[in-house]
Amino acid sequence: MGVLPCFYRRGEVKVKILHVYNASSFSARLLEHTDFGGRSVPIPDEYFTVNMAVYSHYSDERNRYKLPKMIC
């Protein structure tokens, strides 16, 4: 299994835990990387922009729809 070129292998990372699935699995959003030199590298926050766009779109009831119930 290869390592992604942007994967941080040294230093520290700051994450926000989004969901805990069980005792050994969770999902998180990478917020910041600090290298061994103490330089902080912020990670672009596209999550917030996308989240607000989706929220804004579905806040208008005309953009919501229900799927018909399917009986199998």
Instruction: Tell me, yes or no, whether 18 lies in a domain.
Output: yes
Strand partners for 37: none
CB proximity list for 72: less than 8 A, separation 6 or greater: none
Q: What is the pLDDT of residues 25-60, one digit of tens each?
A: 998 888 888 877 788 877 777 777 887 888 898 898
Domain that holds residue 16: 12-58
The DSSP code sequence of 29-65 is EEEEEE-TT--EEEPP-HHHHHHHHHHHHHHSGGG--
- How many domains, the chain? 1
Percent of the chain past pLDDT 90, that is, above it, reads: 6
Intra-chain end-to-end CA distance of the chain, in Å? 40
Instruction: Tell me, yes or no, whether 67 lies in a domain.
Output: no
Instruction: Tell me, yes or no, whether 17 lies in a domain.
Output: yes
pTM beyond 0.75, yes or no: no
With tokens 């230093």, the residue in question is 11
